[in-house]
């Protein structure tokens, strides 16, 4: 099976074309291929497929074998892949995902995609859609974790996200608290956990514990959720630079509440791998 390894500001993926639906056991395959010791190594496995309602369909499976309805960094890699592999040779794409149809605008220089701007849709604070079992009033609430109280906002940005206004935080605390919060009974389907440090009203830094992948270098939907929560709680403006561990994204929320994400994606290498039938 041919694959392409790609990354979006450090969030890395294995891209596989599946136009004939020949790939079986996608979830088990993701666990094997994403293993960083015995496989190729990645945060997720991304399938490029045909769509009846959009230009293409994207399916993402996390490194633990769980399905992801949406992934912001993956969809930028997906868009770059589709253009540069001559699958869809245009600079605007409609991409079908389980979270809905996402619109991508590609910046192209010398026939290479430099950045991708994605219309990510509106965040939802509906506790039934997230889903979330606690009280929700669209504003930050207080949660006691390890004897410390954190301001938290929970929302759906394609996938469930919890945003903590933590200030600067260590990797150890991100892992400890992220793993704990992900599995709280408040979140019947789990949640991604974003630790936000507000630098000024136009800049934040974010560390994310991803549901199904653990601590990652970047999370696109997490950056979007963090900006939505920051603006909602009067901590930033609508357009924010989000600093991740290995790069930056520009996130903007328009007056109608729609979120736009812009950032780079790049190809790491290509190869072939044997998979058991």
Interval 30-47 mean pLDDT: 98
Over range 219-243, report the average pLDDT.
Answer: 97
Of the candidates 8, 252, 255, the one whose C-alpha atom is nearest the C-alpha of residue 120 is 252
Catalytic site residue 219?
A: yes
pLDDT in tens, 141-156: 788 887 888 889 999 9
Q: What is the pLDDT, as a whole number, of residue 176?
A: 94
Domain spanning 141-257: which CATH class is it, in words? alpha beta
pLDDT computed for residue 146 by the predictor: 76
Question: Which of 38-42, 144-148, 197-201, 245-249 shows the lowest per-residue confidence on average (mean pLDDT)?
Answer: 144-148
8 Å CB contact between 101 and 94: yes
Active-site annotation holder among 34, 77, 219, 224: 219
Q: How many residues does the chain have?
A: 277
Give the Cα separation of 121 and 159 in Å (integer).
12
2-120+263-272 carries CATH number 3.40.50.12780: no
- Percent of the chain having pLDDT more than 70? 98
Residues 71, 98: Cα–Cα separation, whole Å: 10
Check pLDDT > 90 for residue 35: yes
Average of per-residue pLDDT values in the chain: 95
Report the pLDDT value the prediction gives residue 138, as an integer from 0 to 100: 62
pLDDT score at 137: 62
Task: Please give the residue that has the higher pLDDT: either 147 or 88.
Answer: 88
DSSP string for 254-277: -TTS-EEEEEE-EEEEEEE-----
Between 143 and 5, the more confident residue is: 5
Q: Which of 34, 71, 77, 224 is catalytic?
A: 71
Average pLDDT of span 244-266: 97
Per-residue burial over 29-41, b = 16 or more CB atoms within 10 Å of its CB, e = otherwise: bbbbbbeeeebbe
Is residue 59 pLDDT above 80, yes or no? yes
**E strands present in the chain:** 2-8, 11-17, 44-49, 56-62, 67-68, 92-97, 100-109, 112-121, 141-145, 148-156, 160-165, 192-200, 203-210, 214-216, 239-244, 247-253, 259-264, 266-272
Q: How far apart are CA 119 and CA 256, in angstroms?
A: 13
pLDDT of residue 135: 75
Angle at 127 between CA 72 and CA 195, to 5 degrees: 50
Every domain range in the chain assigned CATH 3.10.310.10: 2-120+263-272, 141-257
109, pLDDT greater than 80:
yes
**Mean pLDDT in residue range 187-198:** 97
- Is 75 in a helix, a strand, or coil? helix
- The answer, yes or no, to whether residue 277 has pLDDT greater than 60, is no
d(CA 185, CA 217) in angstroms, rounded, equals: 26
Q: For this structure, is 34 an active site residue?
A: no
Please tell me the distance from the alpha carbon of residue 80 to that of residue 78, in angstroms, as a whole number: 6
Residue 139 in this model has a pLDDT that exceeds 80: no
- pLDDT tens digits, residue range 66-78? 999 999 999 999 9
Alpha-carbon distance of 115 to 12, in angstroms, equals: 16
| pLDDT-above-90 percentage for the chain | 90
Residues in a beta bridge with 62: 44
Over residues 116-133, mean pLDDT: 94
What is the phi/psi pair of residue 60, to 5°?
Answer: -120, 130
Identify the CA nearest to 224 among candidates 122, 107, 96: 122
């Amino acid at each position: 099976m041919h694959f392409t390894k790609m990354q979006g500001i450090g969030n890395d993926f294995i891209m596989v074309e599946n136009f004939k639906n020949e790939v079986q056991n996608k979830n088990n395959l993701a666990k094997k291929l994403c293993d960083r010791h015995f496989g190729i190594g990645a945060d997720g496995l991304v399938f490029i497929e045909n769509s009846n309602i959009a230009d293409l369909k994207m399916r993402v499976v996390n490194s633990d074998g769980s399905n992801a309805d949406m992934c912001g960094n993956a969809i930028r890699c997906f868009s770059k892949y589709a253009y540069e592999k001559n699958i869809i040779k245009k600079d605007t794409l409609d991409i079908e995902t389980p979270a809905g149809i996402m619109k991508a605008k590609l910046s192209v220089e010398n026939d290479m995609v430099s950045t991708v701007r994605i219309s990510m849709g509106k965040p939802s604070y509906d506790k039934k859609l997230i889903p979330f079992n606690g009280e929700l009033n669209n504003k930050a609430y207080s949660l006691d974790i390890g004897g410390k109280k954190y301001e938290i906002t929970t929302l759906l940005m394609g996938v469930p996200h919890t945003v903590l206004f933590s200030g600067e935080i260590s990797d150890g605390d991100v892992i400890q608290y992220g793993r704990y919060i992900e599995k709280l009974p408040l979140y019947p389907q789990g949640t991604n956990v974003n630790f936000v440090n507000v630098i000024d009203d136009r800049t934040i830094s974010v560390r994310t514990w991803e549901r199904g992948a653990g601590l990652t270098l970047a999370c696109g939907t997490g950056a979007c959720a963090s900006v939505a929560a920051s603006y909602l709680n009067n901590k930033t403006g609508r357009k924010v630079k989000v600093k991740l561990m290995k790069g930056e994204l520009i996130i903007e929320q328009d007056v109608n509440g729609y979120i736009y994400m812009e950032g780079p994606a790049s190809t790491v290498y290509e190869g072939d791998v044997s998979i058991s039938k």
